[in-house]
Chains A and B, each alone.
Chain A
Amino acid sequence: MTTTEATATDTTLSVTGLDMYYGSFRALRDINLEVTRNSVTALIGPSGSGKSTLLRCFNRMNDLIPGARVEGQVLFNGEDIYHPSIDPTEIRLRVGMVFQKPNPFPKSIYDNVAFGLRINGFRGNMDEAVERSLRRAALWDEVKDRLKASGLTLSGGQQQRLCIARAVAVQPDVILMDEPASALDPISTLAIEDLMRELSRDYTIVVVTHNMQQAARVSDWTAFMTMGEDRAGYLVEVGDTHQIFTNPRDERTEGYITGRFG
């Protein structure tokens, strides 16, 4: 997925010369990345290489951390999301997120899904919107008879699918997933992976994962990150997932995917 392979209209997120700081500490160095529309892009790399930090640059979640600062450019559908005139809540509405640990609100299943719609002034049939989102997250059949039950009564895997339904409900363009299956059992993990494949037909998905098999299974594109001497994370190589796993261009990538380090 270098710029030569993707035309501009296929690109949802375009990152140029991105540096990210926590106070005086540089966490990310000179990231350049294009994320292709309606595909799954996996960010892999050892712990501390800044995968999650990069992911949070895409919906400005890093803004919530005091002292966090971004230099460089992130274009979302051609629009600079760090431009002073941009409201971060607007970006987060269009770039949804699913977190590592399932974090449903202590509210009913229905209210969990409806939350994003309600705060964003949704005018329409809420019941239909909730059902549609739960179906999208392959959860409807399991919960349709107990929509008033607390989201916390669900199993871990169901909770994570509820969080996906919640993210899908506001109809974002992009869904960011930060190790969405790392806290789940293998069967729930497979369900989430199937869901990612399914959702990528309509959404652009960027997923951080520690699990290389998972990256190989679900992603179309893979970006390998590592960290330098200064502990700043940087991007080593980006490419077609098949190519990255079978024929990496960089020996650091090869070292990581063959398990020599990381």
Chain B
Amino acid sequence: MHFGINKISVNKRGGGRGARTILLSLIFWIVQVSAYGAVPVEVTGKVVDKDGSALPGVNIQIKGTTQGTVTDTDGNFRLDVADGQELVVSFIGYVSQQVRPGRQSTLTVKLETDQRQLNEVVVVGYGTQERKNVIGSIAKVDPTDVKGIPVGSFDAQLQGKVPGVQITSNTGVPGEAVTVRVRGATSINADNDPLYVIDGVFMNSNSMQTIGTGGKATSPIADINPNDIESLEVLKDAEATALYGSRGANGVIIITTKRGKFNQKAKVSLNASYGWAKAAKLWDLTTGPQHAQLVNEWWVNTGKDTPSLNRNEANRPFRPVSEGGRGLPEEQKTYDRLGEIFQTAPLQNYDLSVSGGTASTKYYIGGGYTNQESILKPITFNRASFKVNLDQKISDKIQIGVSNSFARTFRNQARAGDGPAGGLLQAALHTPTYLSPTNEKGELVGRAGFDNVTLLLQNYDVKSVSLRYIGNLYAEADILPNLKFRTSWGLDYNNYDENEYWNTFLISGSPNGLATANNGQATTWINEQTLSYRHKFGAKHSFGILVGNTIQSDVNTGTTATGRGFANNSFKLISSAATTTGSSSWSKKNLASFFSRVDYNFGGKYLIDFSIRADGSSSFGADRKWGYFPSVGGAWRVKQEDFLKNVSTISDLKIRASYGVTGNQNGLGSFAALGLWGSGSSYQGNPGIAPQQLANPDLQWERTNQLNAGADITFFGDRLGIEFNVYRKYTSNGLLSLTLPATTGFANYRSNTAEISNKGFELAIRSVNFQNNTFSWTTSFNVARNVNKIEKLENPLEYGSRSLILLQQGHPLYSFWVYKQLYVDPQTGNTVYEDINKDGKITVADRQINGSIWPKFFGGLTNSVTYKGFDINAFLAFSYGNKVYNHNKFFGEGGGARDAARVIFASNNDRWQKPGDITDVPRPDGVNVNNYRDGGSRWLEDGSFVRLRNLTVGYTIPVRHITTLRIYATGANLFTITKYTGLDPESSSSSAANEQGIDLGTPPQPRSFQLGLNLTF
């Protein structure tokens, strides 16, 4: 194939197709066959990426030959090419291009990022791999298209994007913790949150909030600016997480932040957006007259039920004032408090970054500011962040670098829901609408035991500031050509400062004011060494080994001071209080680990690897400190077999399987195995000591065995890709705070007695539906199912308000425990509950498990369309089969019995009123008597939903000298289709792991609209 021709020019101008191309091709063909023995000509060129940055190390090969070269550090190359020969330009992570050098002496090749998964670079535990060689179940997420969702932390933006990762944003307060579960939940008393690793630092993801905001807690993940994130990998199966050993059972989320590139001129990038958020709907409440009518009805009903009460129409509460009553129902006014407390909230976000590099240095410097007000006044969240990543080649064998993230996160906090004092929604939602916000003297007063809304908004003063540094220093050395050593030191430091002040206008501040200040510091340092070696034997055998160790230490300290009794409301600082108290806390937890991975690849066809990690934790019993977590995985690239090589419809096929053990100790106290006698039991000012915790010298790791099998298949030249995984996780030695007979003097005991299983599958489909130069349309869809089950739990455990959640063997975690309402008797108007033990009475024995928070399946659907400069991205998330307890409605459907103590929802208007009425809302009677029983199933609702999480429309304006100028509009949560009658089926009023799915006083996720600008030059 050594063709050579005399100079024939070929113009490769883009878009030059059509008749001319055919003509040229024809000429070409003629020339090719006629010409012979031509002399090679030197071709020079440059390879750049789509932003115009030079790409060093790109492989240039003359097609069909072994001749070739590699671009230098400036992306330039020089090669002798015979006329008519084609160049194949290829680089990992980019689409290979074939170029025929033309008349120009200098050739510029622009490589597009490879959208095909096969050659995608995937971050795995302590390394990277090409997608085609990945054995484990790892999902790589591109966070760009969900950045428009206005939440504080990136994890909340990922809902529906990753198959098998269930993310529930259970509040509309930006920067509050969301629930993230990778392949279900494995533990009752250890954490179920995944491990977050940011640039090699194990991130502290436990909230440092100490002040009460009604069950919710701030998210430490919100200290990370989503814009600094380059890529996210979610490691799901045991093969992928094995190297994280004791930390891996709940999955690992690896965050890689942006870095510069060697030999790239400075690239400046600016993103700015501004927008508004608003509640999509609010609760529908009774008017004053409707409320009064219900109270009267309840009054008369209870009089009929219990004649001794002497209640009848004549002495009903809402009768004419002249008769001593509170006035007739129709004379009652209606006061709107919700309108006062909800707002259209402004959102703004600005990011500016500069990145680039020289031959030996690369840098990324970024700054960001975001300010998000909540739709619920006066809550705000803002974050200012600064990032510097530097990498320096000391020689061609040694490289050092640093990653630094600084963030200051400020929050104006408030108790959204539960708790009478300071509760915004208790005051605004749960106060009866007929009650005036002022008393006879015209002064603002709280009603129903709650604060006054106006006074709350004027006087709320709860603030927190999180100062966060996450940094890493590494050095890498190529000791031998195939032997690489890396050491790194990481630090995650969080200084968390909280101040709350309650003045005398508020219940909490009664009578003379209350101020609390808390300062917490969480310090995690981690040191790691890894040594990796790779060797190829002959043409087909590739062998790699990695060994490493890490040492980690977490120290948490806290100092709290409280002041009570201020001379007047002008004094706010604790030092000016009449009485002050203080306390402090300290804890430490250490982890030492060794790990190794050995992999073997035969001819790119058969891949196998073994990993093991040993972890020693200070939390466990003296002889149980070390845990060993092995895994094995294998993959068969079937496409590489002869019988598939020529099947053109199938572009790739790989079958994978893995099995391994990972552990969990998250959330376990530092001294959990020790018998402790605490010194906090002071009595009358004198120090006191009392036993605190029973020793359990056998306390050990929670172990999760996981079996994963999967297949990756792509069709039609990667136009259609399917990834399928099926898994089974079984957790034994589950950490459980075992309830003891209280007569022993101890309430519980840390044990390893629970067993939990998770089984499921995940399916992800990607499709390029249409693609040409001006128009493209891609779709990606994912769906997952996880079946969770408590396999072993000696005694059921009750959780949540009014024991709404029960953990019981044979049922999923977080099952709802309710009295099942069968119907409302059309004759009597009374609720008929299922009487399980048939004793004729409804007792606690008739409570039953009825559904759980777990969906039957969940996932997301993304469609992206580009047409010339326009881009449209629409993203739907869905969940099916999960239940949610509408606790707001339980309180709000009290049917008049709570009278002036609680609001009544408009749904109570559909109550039974006369024989023959068919409804599921019974007639009003007493509180928690029969019809309005705590834990009734009437308020347990289907929480299935389909939600348009994000819709973005953008237009890229072509401007000279500017790489990118794009303007866009983005909307989040534009619609939600659900049968749930509350505001948001994802609402949950508590951040506690075992108390999910109870919706009480939670602001919904807002509907938002933003306009933005991306500028790169």
A, B: real partners:
no
Q: Which residues of A contact B (CB under 8 A)?
A: none
Q: Which residues of B contact A (CB under 8 A)?
A: none
